[in-house]
């Protein structure tokens, strides 16, 4: 007959540890992502299952952020412009981080729904302005005809104009919603420029 008193309790190494709340949340997120990927795969077929298609539509209606997860047009446009500027991975990562930082500086995280697309537009216009500046500098480094020089000058001027107009639109909306907020600042040619909203009486 064995002596029960001699049986040692299970050591910590052999005990079954319960997953932490963080681990449980991560597991739930993985399952949700796998489920979504499976649904997307079903819908993206040439002849999608009607029930799966309706399921996706219902999820998009009930969870609006899902539309941006599945098709982030701003991210797609930004990625294409960055890819056209930089070839090396380091430069791509640096530009991507810079775009994210600029968006944060413009207050994207705390901005109301009306301002967020305008902030994204300012960021995209800024990125396209940098591409125009780079193209202009590369063109001037070589031999250019007057026609070619005028072409690059026009492209740069147009990019600057789009950037400023995007900033003015954002500033106007902010002024109408929050009149006591500090004026919006944009970087033009390495200088910080305050962009004041156009008074409503001056709009066409």
Looking at residue 203, what is its pLDDT? 40
Q: Where are the alpha helices (DSSP H) in 20-109?
A: 21-43, 50-62, 65-70, 73-85, 89-105
Name the stretches of the chain with pLDDT < 50.
2, 4-5, 7, 197-204
Return d(Cα 13, Cα 10) in angstroms, integer: 8
Nearest CA to 42 out of 51, 30, 32 is that of 51
Return d(Cα 182, Cα 106) in angstroms, integer: 12
Nearest CA to 171 out of 118, 120, 121 is that of 118
CA distances from 151 to 148, 157, 161 (A): 5, 10, 15
Q: In angstroms, what is the C-alpha Rg of the chain? A: 27
Q: Which two tokens stand for residue 34?
A: 């796998």
Looking at residue 9, what is its pLDDT? 53
Looking at residue 21, what is its pLDDT? 81
Return d(Cα 66, Cα 108) in angstroms, integer: 18
pTM of the model: 0.68
């Amino acid at each position: 007959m064995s002596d029960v008193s001699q049986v040692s309790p299970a050591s910590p190494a052999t005990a079954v540890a319960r997953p932490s709340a963080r681990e449980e949340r991560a597991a739930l997120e993985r399952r949700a992502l796998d489920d979504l990927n499976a649904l997307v795969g079903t819908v993206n077929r040439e002849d999608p299952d009607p029930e799966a298609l309706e399921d996706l539509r219902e999820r998009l209606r009930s969870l609006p952020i899902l539309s941006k997860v599945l098709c982030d047009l701003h991210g797609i446009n930004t990625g294409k412009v960055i890819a056209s500027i930089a070839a090396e991975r380091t430069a791509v990562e640096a530009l991507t981080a810079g775009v994210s930082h600029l968006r944060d500086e413009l207050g994207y995280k705390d901005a109301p729904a009306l301002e967020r697309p305008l902030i994204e537009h300012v960021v995209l216009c800024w990125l396209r302005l940098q591409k125009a500046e780079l193209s202009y500098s590369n063109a001037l480094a070589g031999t250019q005809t007057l026609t070619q020089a005028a072409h690059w000058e026009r492209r740069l001027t147009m990019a600057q104009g789009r950037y400023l107009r995007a900033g003015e639109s954002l500033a106007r909306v902010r002024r109408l919603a929050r009149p006591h907020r500090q004026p919006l600042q944009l970087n033009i040619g390495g200088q910080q420029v305050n962009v004041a909203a156009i008074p409503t009486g001056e709009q066409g």
